[in-house]
Structures are given as C-alpha cells and as structure tokens.
Amino acid sequence: MGSWKGIIDHYRPRLEMDDNAPVISLGEGNTPMILSERLSERTGLEVYLKFEGMNPTGSFKDRGMTMAITKAVANGAKAVVCASTGNTSASAAAYSAKAGILCVVLIPAGNVASGKLAQALVHGAKVVEVRGNFDQAFEITRKLEGPYPIVVVNSTNPHRLLGQKTGAFEICDRLERAPDYHIIPVGNAGNITSYWNGYNEYHADGITDSLPQMFGFQAAGSAPIVLGHPVDQPKTIATAIRIGHPASWDGALRAARESGGEIRSVTDKAILEAYRMIASEGVFAELASSAPVAGLLQLSAQGRLERGKTVVCILTGHGLKDPSWAISGAPKPIQVDAEIDVVAQALGF
Ligand SMILES: *Cc1c(COP(=O)(O)O)cnc(C)c1O
C-alpha cells in the first residue's frame, strides 16, 4: 500500500494515542500474509504465514516500539532501556535513533545473534553485555526505572502491548474474518497476549463474529509455561524464545484457556526442520519464528485441527538476523573457474 504510514497512523483510534504527539515511525506493520500451498496440502488446512520479518528492523517488535518510543518522547524522556534476546534491542535502537534519544540495551553475553547485535550497534545504542541470561538482564532493567531518568521499553511497557495487537487487526482486515486457529511462538509471552487482546477487541466491536483458538509454542528446553514452573537455565537454539521466566505468563495462559487453545512445546530438531521447510518455499524466518510451523505440524499430526479451517502462523522475525544456521546446514557452493563452459559443465548442461 503506497499510502501506508505505520500502525499508529492506520489504527490510531484503537491505540489510545494523543492526537498531538509527534509519531515516531519507520513505517512498521502491513506485513505480508503468505498462503503456503505446501503446508496447506500437507495439513488439509488453509495455512497463512504472516511474515513479521518484513517489519523495518526485521521483527514484530517494531509494532510495539513505535508506540513505546512515541509515548516516551511525548513524556519528555531522553533515554530508554531494555533487556533483550536481540530483536527488542534492534528495534529500540532504531526507533530511538529516529527520535534522537539515547537507547541502552542489556543483552545476555554471547547469546545474541550477530545480525541483531549489529543492528543495535549501527543505530548507536549503548550496548551492555550482561554475564547472565535474558531473565537476569531483565531483572536489572526493571530496577533501573524509577531511581534513574530512563524509560523501560520491554514488553512490560503497556504501550508496546497495545501496538502489538495491530497484528491481529491486520489478519482480520485481510481475511475479512477471524482465522480459526492462530499459532505463535512464546518467549516472554507479550505477543500472544496482545494478539488475543486484538482479536477480542474486533469481536467486541462486531467487526468479526468469531475468535480463533490460540496455540502458543515454546521450545522444549525453555518451556516454563508448559512445565508449570520457571526454568532457571533455559536452553534452545531459538534464542529469541530462550526465556525461563516469562513476564506475561498469565496473559498466555488466559489466551489459551479462553480460546480453547493450548500452550505447547516443540523440540529444537522440529524447529530446525520447520525452518528449512519454509525456507524451501521461499520464506526466510528465524529459528524462533519457525516454532509455530513446527507446532502446526505437531497439532495436525495429532488430529487436533479440523480440516478445511483457516490457520495463521506468526513468523515473528527475519532469518537474515542469524544466517549461521542457514549456512551450516546447506551444501557448500561449488567453486569454478570464470569460464562459460566450466560453469555449464558444473551445472550438468
Ligand atoms: C521477541 C520474539 C519472540 C517472543 O515474543 P514474546 O512476546 O516475548 O513471547 C518470538 N520470536 C521472535 C523473533 C522475537 O523477536
């Protein structure tokens, strides 16, 4: 859409946004909903992949960040801080740069994908590597607000969750109804909470006449909500959902319970298979974003989903953020001399 100016411009009446506040936007939202013919054929459903990797910084975090930074600037803030597994810091750094304010990010040392770290650095954020995991970095971040003149822009920031519900609006606007099933990765659980709020808002206003069943997927080594207790040493290759103490735990449980869905887990192996499968269909999403596709296949194999129904999988971030997994599992490129007949021969012509 040529006239698209970001989610605040498009959904302003639903975002509790003061009309006078200057909007800090990079044109986020309006992401593609890609019909997957192969997944549809395999599962007997109509499967859409909502590719949130197409947001300005390559993840859905931009939907919340445009709100959080717009509000922070409107309230006179000169600095923001977040703890991050990578994408929140990439987004916070970019929107802070756009606004001209300082961004501080606390990341778990050694556990952030290189592309995400590059984003925080190139946008001029002050990057602090914490020797610990995300949960420990987050604990410190929370304590900085109050005593220090800095606004926390993690998903505990209420404006972020408001912005993230616009993903649900876009799905319903596009389908002209609510999907039957919604499948999404769960880390800190803010996103599943926001989507459920968004679907309910449209339903309450009579824009849609049904609600989807909500399925959230954690990685098996990092599945506190599935296990029913926090995990102090979460483990998974899907670093964006490597979170053992989710902040919006209750929101995830509520979404699953109220909608007749579930919070489940998938193994790293299944995540990697799903990652390769969608890539083979032209969609390059990061590992965490492949968890809902692994989840779809698990639910479908167990007969949990009714055939013929419509399902949307949220592909939360772009695969380019961490190309190492793409390269390590692929055959090496062939190297040849720069001559046409050598190239033709190598191609088997
Ligand atoms: C942040 C993130 C998640 C997890 O979202 P939550 O709201 O924390 O549950 C999943 N995938 C990607 C790519 C992310 O950046």
Reference 24, options 120, 87, 99, 93; nearest CA is: 99
pTM for the predicted model, two decimal places: 0.95
- For residue 139, what are the contacts with CB-CB under 8 A and spacing of at least 6? none
- Mind listing the pLDDT tens digit for each residue in 214-272? 999 999 999 999 999 999 999 999 999 999 999 999 999 999 999 999 999 999 999 99
Q: Are the beta carbons of 179 and 209 closer than 8 angstroms?
A: no
- Mind listing the pLDDT tens digit for each residue in 154-206? 988 999 999 999 999 999 999 999 999 999 999 999 999 999 999 999 999 99
What ligand 1 atom has the least distance to the C-alpha of 86? Answer: 15
* pLDDT at residue 85 in the model: 86
* pLDDT at residue 329 in the model: 81
CA-nearest residue for atom 4, ligand 1, is 187
What is the distance between the terminal CA atoms of the chain, rounded to a whole angstrom? 42
**Amino acid in the structure at residue 38:** R
Q: Which of 57, 60, 61 to mutate to test the pocket of ligand 1 (most atoms within 8 A of CB)?
A: 60
* pLDDT at residue 192 in the model: 98
At residue 127, the 3 state secondary structure works out as: strand
Q: Which residue has the tokens 């040493």?
A: 233
Q: Are the beta carbons of 141 and 106 closer than 8 angstroms?
A: yes
- Mind listing the pLDDT tens digit for each residue in 35-67? 999 999 999 999 999 999 999 999 999 999 999
Q: How far is the CA of 87 from the centre of ligand 1 (A)?
A: 8
Q: How far apart are CA 73 and CA 91, in angstroms?
A: 16
188 in contact with ligand 1, CB cutoff 6 A: yes
Q: How far is the CA of 319 from the centre of ligand 1 (A)?
A: 13
Query: In Å, how far from its chain's centre is CA 54?
Result: 11
Q: How far is the CA of 55 from the centre of ligand 1 (A)?
A: 14
pLDDT bucket at 136, cuts 50 / 70 / 90: very high
pLDDT bucket at 19, cuts 50 / 70 / 90: confident
Q: How far is the CA of 316 from the centre of ligand 1 (A)?
A: 6
- Mind listing the pLDDT tens digit for each residue in 295-321? 999 999 999 999 999 999 999 999 999
- Mind listing the pLDDT tens digit for each residue in 68-99? 999 999 999 999 999 998 999 999 999 999 99
DSSP string covering 31-72, please? --EEE-HHHHHHHTSEEEEEEGGGSTTSBTHHHHHHHHHHHH
Across the chain, mean pLDDT equals: 95
317 in contact with ligand 1, CB cutoff 6 A: yes
Q: How far apart are CA 214 and CA 118, in angstroms?
A: 33
At residue 236, the 3 state secondary structure works out as: coil
What percentage of the chain has pLDDT greater than the value 70? 99
